[in-house]
Amino acid sequence: MEKRWRVNACQSVNAMINFVSNNAQTGVFSVFGMRTVYWDFEKQEVCMIDQRRLPAALEVISLRTCQAVSEAIKNMTVRGAPAIGAAAAFGLALAVRESKFGETASCYSDLQAAAAVLKAARPTAINLAWAVDRMLKVIGGQLEGRTLEELQAVALSEAQRIADEDVEINQRMAQHGAALIEDGDTIIHHCNTGALAAVDWGTALGVIRTAFGQGKRVHVLVDETRPRLQGARLTAWELQQYGIPYEIITDSMAGHFLSRGEVQKVLFGADRIAANGDVANKIGTYMLALAAKDNGIPVYAVAPTSSIDLSLADGRLIPIEERDPEEVLGIRFHGEPIAPQGAKARNPGFDVTPNRLITAIVTENGIVYPSFEENLRKTLKR
């Protein structure tokens, strides 16, 4: 069901051509020649960079079923709150095509089932549910008098709109956020929030890219981000493509560098933001924000307004995904297992950073300062 191909320096010209023809309307060129998630109009498939393989190989896989997209989200072939939102939207477009029903009303019940599977793949990031609900709403509003083929076109067009908007939203966020970055800043960045975490450009890393593009000299201390090492594997790889200077640190080192006065800003993304500004993000964010606060260093969460969940009063209500302990235990040290046989591990994928530790939240509608309770609502109304 799944095809896979490797993109290297030589091949990326083809990828670029493919990209340009598919996405000419956005005018955005990812430095690695393609979007993280995109629709192949010729083959009518969802394509995505396999993020489990980077940095060893830049491989793209194509998927033809909604179930395969759910799996890819769950096993983190594609990850990053905005990217999984877009992937899920394309997944629902596939689901319309897959429907066995000849008429649109019955098709919708298939879609609702597919939507439930997609949402359950990753419970913490609200963007996934947001994109799925948006797709359902648009498709649901077009059921009357449409052929299944027309409905497929509606679904695909909405998924493509979500993807295109994501790029545009990322760039607006980056413009707002870049104003916070000063020439000469050393920035600690957690997890991966770059082009790979979105359809293109990125959230927190997008801010850094834009600031760097404005000529500001920045240096990034890249939290490796255990257990899945998205920082070392993905963020370092992206920064290398962009020519932005960086050094990898273990997550546990951030406090040391903050306490030595070597860091001016802390940036990360968000998987879900509660109404009071509490931020659920990749595990380790809370301790990083604490260390920044303890040293008077500003902390910025960068996320689209689709990450804001006003239905939850505070962060304690955000569901935290607990993943396979093998993600913790499975790395190798000097070629050997890192833990004794039979060792158990815990693996919460996210934690909640209380709003009191966050200086501001950067959205596509601008920079939101406390009181978040009040100002997040205002941002959403813009």
Is 183 designated active site? no
Q: Between residues 182 and 326, which has the closer beta carbon with respect to its own copies?
A: 326
Q: Does 290 bind its own copies (CB under 8 A)?
A: yes
Q: Which of 50, 200, 271, 278 is catalytic?
A: 271
Phi then psi dihedrals of residue 359, to 5 deg: -70, -45
Identify the residue among 74, 134, 209, 233 touching its own copies (CB under 8 A).
Answer: 233
Question: Which range binds its own copies by CB under 8 A, 47-55, 98-106, 135-143, 201-209?
Answer: 47-55
Residue 335 binds its own copies (CB under 8 A): yes
Which residues have a Cβ under 8 Å from the Cβ of 59 and sit 6 or more positions away? 4, 5, 6, 7, 49, 50, 53
- Residue 174: phi and psi, rounded to 5, are -65, -40
From the list 22-30, 66-74, 145-153, 225-233, the region that binds its own copies by CB under 8 A is 225-233
Burial call 371-381: b when 16+ CB within 10 Å, e when fewer: ebeebbeebee
Helices 148-178 + 204-213 axis angle, to 10: 60
C-beta separation of 68 from 2 below 8 A: yes
Nearest-angstrom CA–CA distance, 14 and 20:
10
Q: 336-355: which residues touch its own copies (CB under 8 A)?
A: 336-348, 351-352
Contact flags string 238-267 toward its own copies, x per CB under 8 A: --x-----xxxxxxxxxxxx-x--------
Q: Are 302 and 173 in contact (CB under 8 A)?
A: yes
Binding to its own copies, residues 304-323 (CB under 8 A) = 320
- Looking at the Cβ atoms of 68 and 188, the one nearer to its own copies is 188
Q: What is the footprint of its own copies within residues 6-35 (CB under 8 A)?
A: none
Is 96 within 8 Å of 111 (Cβ atoms)?
yes
Contact residues: its own copies, CB under 8 A: 52-53, 55-56, 221, 224-229, 232-233, 236-237, 240, 246-257, 259, 283-284, 286-288, 290-291, 294, 320, 325, 328-348, 351-352
